[in-house]
A = this chain, B = another copy of it.
Amino acid sequence: MKVVILGADGYLGFPLTLRLLERGDEVWGVDNLSKRSLGGKSAIPIASASDRVDAIYEQRYGDRFHWCYDDVTHVGFMSELLENIKPDAIFDFAEIASAPYSQQSVENAIHTQTNNITGTLNILFAMKKYCPDAHLIKLGTMGEYGTPDVDIPEGFFDAQYQGRSDWLPFPRQPGSFYHLSKVHDSFNIMLACKLWNLNSTDIMQGVIYGSSTPQMGDDPRLKTTFYFDAIWGTALNRFCAQAVAGFPITPYGTGGQKRGFISLCDAIRCYELILDNPIKGYRVINQFDEVYSIMELAEKVKQVAEKMSLGKVRIAPISNLRVESEKHYYNPRRDTLDALGYKRGIMLDYELQRIISDILPYRETIIENFDSIKPEVSWT
């Protein structure tokens, strides 16, 4: 298949590029490299974009890879790209993806929302003109739903009101301006699919954990990022980094916040399933493997790290600067992926071991950046 990956230099876009090349697809990888200058601290050192591209070209599938250094928000670029390639599928991973970043200042809130929305609108209009049959696979987030006190369906539900009913978008209650940008995208895509008969899978992505995939092998140029700072790292990444560095693990508040999680390898497998099973029209998929509370994850990391002889690991909750429920109902559905044949490939414990092994050589990097783990951005 001819596949465009927008955000191909990112945490997900890069390993997905490697996997699709391995399995025989032709891949156009697009990135403006802006994420590299936003200050995230990666435990695993990341090769320059040109070194990454060289490494891919040296592989036997290098001739199926096309690297495009450009910006998804540029109207002219996107038109030309889709006009020339007419891809079968487009993965859109090219967004600014940090809740704390978006809450930090008015400038960052505006940057996050306008960048993400502009990119998505740009893709939709170019698809309409040049490849209306392509499959847009868009990265949203489970965070679009927030934590309602009812089960969470996949995007739509049978709404009952005043004795009548209709099949309507499920209410969204995101908790940050970043998560809101994904909701804005979802609604824009939903309309474009309705008006122009475009085809899109909108992935409500759970939190992804993992530091390597089989395709990376031993080539250090093929590694992906492992951000552990308070702005760009996930809670689980911070916990692993803290355990490795000998710092206490610091859940925010009581740690009762529940979220859906999935490993990097399983996430990549899901993207393949979705790519191989396109849809006519607009489809929402909830993509996660298992629901855990933040405190459960902290305990898991502690157990695994102690088993790996990293010494005694302490869990020391800190005050929660976010506005979020720390005790709540949480029951999202995962119907579509199950129907497509999704099976968990990797257990959390095993993946945590691998993460810790992967970042252990970079213990000094984590220690040097100790300050960056501490949250500074308050939601209020």
Contacts and interface: CB of A to CB of B under 8 A. Distances in A.
B166 A150 contact: yes
Interface stretch (A46-54, A170-178, A233-241): A170-178
A57 interface: no
A218 interface: no
A149 B165 contact: yes
Interface string A174-200: 111100100110011001001110000
A157 interface: yes
A121 B106 contact: yes
A161 B153 contact: yes
A160 to B, nearest CB: 5
Contact of A161 (B110, B151, B175, B191): B151
- With most chain B CB atoms within 10 A of its CB, the pick from A122, A157, A168, A169 is A168
Nearest to A168: B171
B172 A170 contact: no
Per assembly, the copies of the chain total 2
Given A109-B125, A126-B106, A159-B159, A195 B323 contact: yes
A196 B103 CA distance: 12
A162 B151 CA distance: 7
A145 B23 CA distance: 44
Contact of A150 (B109, B162, B191): B162
A16 interface: no
A107 interface: yes
A141 interface: no
A118 B166 CA distance: 33
A275 interface: no
A242 interface: no
A164 B180 contact: no
Interface residues of A, number: 50
A250 to B, nearest CB: 22
A148 interface: yes
A186 to B, nearest CB: 10
A380 B195 contact: yes
A166 B157 CA distance: 14
A233 to B, nearest CB: 22
A163 to B, nearest CB: 9
Interface in A297-354: 323, 329
Contact of A184 (B118, B187, B379): B187
- With most chain B CB atoms within 10 A of its CB, the pick from A75, A149, A153, A196 is A149
Contact of A117 (B75, B113, B151, B187): B113
A306 to B, nearest CB: 37
A191 B174 contact: yes
A306 B32 CA distance: 62
A325 to B, nearest CB: 12
A273 B183 CA distance: 32
Contact of A164 (B117, B121, B329, B380): B329
29 contacts: A75-B107, A75-B110, A106-B125, A109-B121, A110-B117, A110-B122, A113-B117, A113-B121, A113-B184, A113-B188, A114-B114, A114-B117, A149-B164, A149-B166, A150-B160, A150-B164, A150-B165, A151-B161, A153-B161, A160-B160, A168-B171, A169-B172, A180-B184, A180-B188, A184-B184, A184-B187, A194-B323, A195-B380, A196-B380
